[in-house]
Amino acid sequence: MTKREISRRGVLKGSLMASALAGTASYFGPWKENRVWAQGAAKPIKLGLTCDASGQYGNSGQDDLRGIQMAIDEANAKGGVLGRKVTWITADTETTPATGSRIAERFITREDCTILIGAVHSGVANAITQVAAKNGVIYLNTNSSAPSEAGENCSRIKFVWDGNGTNFSKASVKNAVDSIGKNWMLLTNDYVWGHTTSAATKAQVEGAGGKIMDNLLVPQNTRDFTAYLLKIQQAKPDVVATAIGGDDIKALREQVAQLKLDGKPAWINNQQDWPDVWGAPNSLFGVFGTTWYHKLALPGVAEFVKKWQATNKEGSIPVPGNVSYNGYMATRELLRAIERAGSTNNIKIIKELENLKVSATDRMQHFDAYMDPVTHQMQQTIYLARRNAKPSDNTDLYEIISWTEPKAAADTDAQAKCKLTPYEQVPTVDS
């Protein structure tokens, strides 16, 4: 009899203690947050930065974060957006879709973030998109270059700021089939970016009269490429096209360079991200794509580099690359769009972004860029590069061999595959 009463009391006390604990804990404030909010000032605009800090794309995620923060600081230095300060919060999405989903949920429901920014891994981007779309929250996919992001995985609330696998394939493949050879082998990272990029490459190769000998799937976080390199040596293709990213491509490059396989066959590495290149500069080989390079001979580039370096003195990467650049551009254009829309109503911002046009000078690229209103992907200049045989300093790793205008590299199939929800069906978000 008595024992039962005590255990009931025990449960009550326990739950009271727990809730008290949870309540006190809330005053510590979660995550790394920038809370600058004077009394009586206008309510700040809060951005949720969903960047990887660990896993296959941890390095790129952090570089993405640097670019995004630079754009936010610039806007705040000019007095904020619509007279309101821009604040942000970030958490590690661990290059894992499940974590991305959880963090998006937290940012939206607990942190009241108006807009989410940031992704490198397309799986993570998709998981975040689902949660954001459910709530009507705008999401900027800064650096994930899966063609499906602008195709079957597009969304009314999502905007893609990186060139994707199809763009880079279009810029590189036809030329390579004509000048190097018709027999191609594909190495594909086993997730959505890998698959869709390799599918795009295959379409391009076959369209140019070439042949795909084999498509080898490489699980994520593979380090030992011996079996694959043996198979490649046995098959003797003319070209190997890789859709491998993050730490995996670094490992692959090291091993290929060690075995001196970088000459024959020819390697086309789709897009290479600056953090992956900088991580192993001596093993850079083949032809690859990028959306920007810090030594482009264009107005504004040098100043941008200096500004970036001023805020990133202790980092491990000394100059900005495409990842930081995409993060910066996405955030800058978003904040400008909010200013033009005159409000933080999500539909108004979406409509502003859908009609976005940025001049070449403003983009620090060779051609004007514009947002495709049907697929929500930014169409921009596509650069092809290879290892610089005559670098001017130790950061000058690329030799830019060509620049393609957006229309020529555009993914013409994406528009058919992308079905956006009508405006009326998107939940309204306004802060």
Partner 1 sequence: MIPTQQSDSVRLITPTMLVLFLVLATVPLWIARAGLYPYLGIEILIWSLYALAFNLVLGTAGLPSFGHGAYFGIGAYAFGLCQFNVVANLWICLAAAFAVAGLAGALVALFISHRRGIYYAFMTIAFGQIFWTLAIKSHKVTGGEDGLLKIARLPADLGFASFDLAGNVAFYYFVLIVFGLAVIALWRLVHSPYGRVIAAIKQSEIRAAHLGYNVWLYKASIFTLSAAVSGFAGGLFAMAQLAAFPDVMSLHQSGYVVMMTLVGGGLVSFWGPVVGVFLFLIARDVIGALTNAWMLYFGLLFIAVVLFRPEGVAGAVTAAWQNRSLHSMRQQGGSALRLLFGGERWR
Partner 2 sequence: MFDLLPHILNGLTLGLLFALIALGFMLIVGLMEQINLAHGSLFALGAYFAMQLMGPRPPFPSDVAHAWLAMPLGWRYVATLILAPAAVGVVGIAIEFCMRRTYGKDPLYGLLLTFGAAMVIEEMIRLTWGTRDYVLQVPQGVSGGFLFGDLIWSTYRFYAAGIAVAIIGLVWLLIEKTSFGATVKAGAHDSEIVRALGINLTRLRLLVFVFGTMLAAIAGIIVAPIWGIRPHMGVDAVIPAFLVIVLGGVGSFWGAVVAGLLVGLAVGLSGAYASEWSLLSMYVLLVAVVTVRARGLWGKKSVLEA
Site residues, partner 2 (CB under 8 A): 53-55, 58-59, 190, 216-219, 221, 223-224, 226-231, 233-234, 247, 250-251, 254-255, 258-261, 279-280
Question: Applying CB under 8 A, what is the total number of residues that bind partner 1?
Answer: 47
| Interaction between residue 122 and partner 1 (CB under 8 A) | yes
Give which of partner 1, partner 2, none residue 191 binds (C-beta under 5 to 8 Å, depending on kind). Answer: partner 1
Burial label, 13 (beta-carbon count in 10 A; 0-12, 13-18, 19+): exposed
| Interaction between residue 9 and partner 1 (CB under 8 A) | yes
Which residue lies nearer to partner 1 by CB, 7 or 359?
7
Alpha helices in 27-164 (DSSP H): 58-77, 97-109, 122-135
Give which of partner 2, partner 1, none residue 258 binds (C-beta under 5 to 8 Å, depending on kind). Answer: partner 2
- Write the interaction track for partner 1 spanning residues 130-169; mark x where CB under 8 A is met and - where it is not: xx--x-----------------------------------
Long-range CB contact pairs, 178-183, < 8 A, 24+? 178/208, 180/238, 180/239, 180/266, 181/210, 181/237, 181/238, 181/239, 181/266, 182/209, 182/210, 182/211, 182/238, 183/210, 183/211, 183/213, 183/236, 183/237, 183/238, 183/239
Tokens of 17: 């203690």
Which residue lies nearer to partner 1 by CB, 220 or 365?
220
Residues 11-40 that bind partner 1 (CB under 8 A): 11-12, 14-15, 18-19, 21-23, 25-31
Residues 167-196 that bind partner 1 (CB under 8 A): 190-192, 195
Q: How far is the CB of 179 from partner 2 (least distance, A)?
A: 25
Closest to 214 (Cα-Cα) out of 145, 233, 224: 233
* Cβ density class 17-36: b for 16+ within 10 Å, e for less: eeeeeeeeeeeeeeeeebee
Tokens of 88: 């942000």
| Interaction between residue 403 and partner 1 (CB under 8 A) | no
CA 310 to chain CA centroid, Å, is 23
| Interaction between residue 110 and partner 1 (CB under 8 A) | yes
Which residue lies nearer to partner 2 by CB, 229 or 305?
229
The residues, ordered by sequence, that sit 6+ positions from 333 with a Cβ below 8 Å of its Cβ are 353, 356, 358
Task: Provide the binding-site residues for partner 1, judged by CB under 8 A.
Answer: 3-4, 6-12, 14-15, 18-19, 21-23, 25-31, 92, 96-99, 101-102, 105-106, 109-110, 122-123, 126-127, 130-131, 134, 190-192, 195, 219-220
